[in-house]
């Protein structure tokens, strides 16, 4: 086919896409459009198909190109894809954000109970007599993920402040790779205690109350920066990253966006300053110095 004819066909196709609107077309009509890849760490709602469908639809509409939601088993896998620029953005944890702060830009941070903050909980079985974290000594303990702030770093920092290592304080520990899995492990007796995201735990009071009744909170941490959405600095000039930021901060004003927020039990997203995560950075330094 002559080059000028092929070029004209591509121009006509792009014009047709613009006129009809991307959302009105079957997925197969987007073959020439590079999808915007948005990563999700294995947090508690990442397997909720209703949420994923609403989130994909909302972001596709706002960004103006097809959106691919990228999931992996561990935080580390998503972080590696993000830092290397293999995906355009991701909803990550504050711990990997501060670890790779030089390579990442903040896009937006969720708002929960009026603030972009959350807590880490230490939990134990509901019927157990234990008043504070010291009573968990010798436990089999469930962590969420080695790159999770609330599901690992906070507890690791608490022990470091008291000159203790997890392997010395707990008889054994393991990673469940999901905050809901931490609660399940404690509720089932697979673990005697666990470190879990307080936001996840509180939402589970609504979504899985029977499971939550089998656990109790032993300790709440200080308030920390909520797990943020970030993008690689290498993609700072990509207009779709800015479109993502606008889509998130305006989510509460859109009917489809409101559905996403309702499913997440969040109030919205804010454009926040990196200093929001200074407390988590301080935790990382405490652990680093202790060894």
Q: Is the pLDDT of residue 197 over 60?
A: yes
Overall average pLDDT of the 258-268 stretch? 95
Q: Please tell me whether residue 279 adopts helix, strand or coil conformation.
A: helix
- Nearest 5 degrees, angle CA 222-CA 283-CA 171? 90
Q: In DSSP terms, which residues pair with 144 in a beta bridge?
A: none
Give how many domains the chain has, as a whole number: 2
Domain residues for the domain of 125 are 117-224
**Pick the residue with more confidence: 2 or 213?**
213
Q: Of 182, 208, 224, which residue constitutes the final position of a domain?
A: 224
Would you say residue 11 has pLDDT above 50?
Answer: no
Average of per-residue pLDDT across 51-73: 93
Same domain, 176 and 250: no
User: Helix 239-249 crosses helix 49-63 at what angle (to 10 degrees)?
Assistant: 120
Residue 42 has a pLDDT of 72
Range with lowest mean pLDDT among 25-39, 59-73, 162-176, 237-251? 25-39
For residue 100, being part of any structural domain is answered with: yes
Tokens encoding 92: 């990550």
Quick check: 163 pLDDT over 60?
A: yes
Q: What is the mean pLDDT of residues 228-244?
A: 94
Q: What percentage of residues in the chain have a pLDDT greater than 70?
A: 87
Question: What global pTM score does this model have?
Answer: 0.86
**Domain edge (last residue) among 208, 224, 240:** 224
Q: For the domain that residue 46 is a member of, what is the CATH number? A: 3.40.190.10
Shared domain check, 129 and 73: no
Return the higher-pLDDT residue of 207 and 154.
Answer: 154
Q: Is residue 217 part of a domain?
A: yes
**Which residues fall within 8 angstroms of residue 25, CB to CB, at 6 or more apart?**
17
Residue 260 burial class via C-beta count within 10 angstroms: exposed 0-12, middle 13-18, buried 19 and up:
buried
Residues present in the chain in total: 291
């Amino acid at each position: 086919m002559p080059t000028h004819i092929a070029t004209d066909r591509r121009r006509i196709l792009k014009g047709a896409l613009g006129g009809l609107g991307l959302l009105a077309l079957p997925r197969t009509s987007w073959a020439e459009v590079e999808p915007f890849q948005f990563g999700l760490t294995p947090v508690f709602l990442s397997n909720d198909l209703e949420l994923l469908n609403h989130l994909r639809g909302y972001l596709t509409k706002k960004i103006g190109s097809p959106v691919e939601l990228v999931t992996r088993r561990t935080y580390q896998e998503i972080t590696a894809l993000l830092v290397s620029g293999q995906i355009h953005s991701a909803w990550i944890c504050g711990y990997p954000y501060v670890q790779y702060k030089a390579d990442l830009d903040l896009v937006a941070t969720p708002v929960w109970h009026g603030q972009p903050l959350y807590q880490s909980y230490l939990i134990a079985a509901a019927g157990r007599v234990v008043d504070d974290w010291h009573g968990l000594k010798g436990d089999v303990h469930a962590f969420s993920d080695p790159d999770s702030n609330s599901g690992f770093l906070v507890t690791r920092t608490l022990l470091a402040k008291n000159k203790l290592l997890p392997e010395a304080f707990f008889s054994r520990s393991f990673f469940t790779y999901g905050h809901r899995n931490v609660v399940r492990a404690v509720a089932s007796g697979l673990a005697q205690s666990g470190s879990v995201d307080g936001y996840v735990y509180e939402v589970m009071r609504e979504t899985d109350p029977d499971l939550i009744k089998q656990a109790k909170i032993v300790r709440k941490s200080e308030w920390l920066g909520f797990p943020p959405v970030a993008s690689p600095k290498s993609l700072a000039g990509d207009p779709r990253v800015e479109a993502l930021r606008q889509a998130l901060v305006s989510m509460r004003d859109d009917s489809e966006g409101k559905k996403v927020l309702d499913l997440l039990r969040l109030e919205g997203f804010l454009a926040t300053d990196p200093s929001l995560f200074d407390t988590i950075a301080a935790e990382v330094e405490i652990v680093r110095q202790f060894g």
